[in-house]
Amino acid sequence: MTGPRIKSLVPMAHVADIAASAAFYAKLGFEVAASFTPPKADSPSWMSLTSDRAELMITRADEPVLPEQQAVLFYLYCDDVGAMHAMLCEAGLEPGPITRPFYNPNGEFRLSDPDLYVVMVTHL
């Protein structure tokens, strides 16, 4: 392809509770990079979260977030799947078991965020 190219893709998820989602992703190592709180509001309506090269934007949903309609998977890559699994268990989260499918012999596990988005943690 010639011409301009896309350099980055940052997903934005609609969430029911910005603070709960930010706290969940903080346990995965994400930090708040930016946020927006509308005038006269008590809490942010949007946040940008980062961890190394990973980025995620979250925004308050205007309507209920329905788990059965979440049609996206978030793949998070790390250097040590076992250590990440143990850390998340110690942080009070409930990750699924580590599996080793043919396409990922170093392992992966599934986790759900507060809005039941699927978060897959796998080897880099």
Segment 19-46, tens digit of pLDDT: 999 999 999 999 999 999 999 999 999 9
Q: How confident is the model at residue 3 (pLDDT cuts 50, 70, 90)?
A: confident
Its sign, for the CA torsion 79, 26, 54, 103, is positive
Q: How confident is the model at residue 4 (pLDDT cuts 50, 70, 90)?
A: low
Domain 12-123 has what CATH class? Answer: alpha beta
Q: Where are the domains of the chain?
A: 12-123
* 1 pLDDT above the threshold of 80: no
Report in angstroms the alpha-carbon separations of 80 from 69, 98, 106: 31, 12, 9
Look up the pTM and report it. 0.89
Task: Determine the pLDDT at residue 77.
Answer: 93
Q: Are 88 and 44 in contact (CB under 8 A)?
A: no
